[in-house]
């Protein structure tokens, strides 16, 4: 699983204890990513899907998971544009970004 090093990532400048706490929170976030994918794929409408994608954009960015953040942002944008073909491709790219982060999704 790719992540930033403490020297240049979101935990830069934190004390070692704070970095450990941040890493624990990041691991909890990663453990919940399969559930986030389920929320995105089972969203009842575009509004709910965009909200779930938007939340993922912010959280992934906060934890230094830029490829995941970028993939979620692209999916959010294509959902907003109501571009079905682009959105399907962006969701597949998001699925791949999740896999690259070590997350298995159904």
The per-residue pLDDT for 82 is 87
Calpha distance 94→83 (Å, rounded): 16
The per-residue pLDDT for 60 is 97
Over range 13-40, report the average pLDDT: 93
Over range 58-71, report the average pLDDT: 96
Give the pLDDT band (50/70/90) at residue 1: very low
Predicted TM-score (pTM) of the model is 0.85
User: What mean pLDDT is reported for the chain?
Assistant: 91
Q: Taking 60 as the threshold, does the pLDDT of residue 5 lie above it? A: no
Q: Say if residue 53 is exposed, middle or buried (CB neighbours under 10 Å; 0-12, 13-18, 19+).
A: buried
The per-residue pLDDT for 49 is 97
Calpha distance 46→4 (Å, rounded): 32
Name the residue ranges covered by the structural domains of the chain. 16-100
Calpha distance 22→74 (Å, rounded): 26
Q: Taking 80 as the threshold, does the pLDDT of residue 2 lie above it? A: no
């Amino acid at each position: 699983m790719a992540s930033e090093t403490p020297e240049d990532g979101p935990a830069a400048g934190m004390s070692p204890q704070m970095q450990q706490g941040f890493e624990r929170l990041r691991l909890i976030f990663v453990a919940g990513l399969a559930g986030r994918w389920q929320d995105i794929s089972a969203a009842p409408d575009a509004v709910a899907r965009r909200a779930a994608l938007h939340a993922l954009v912010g959280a992934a960015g906060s934890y230094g998971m830029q490829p995941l953040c970028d993939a979620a942002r692209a999916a959010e944008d294509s959902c907003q544009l109501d571009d079905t073909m682009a959105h399907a491709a962006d969701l597949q790219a998001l699925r791949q970004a999740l896999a690259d982060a070590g997350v298995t999704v159904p």
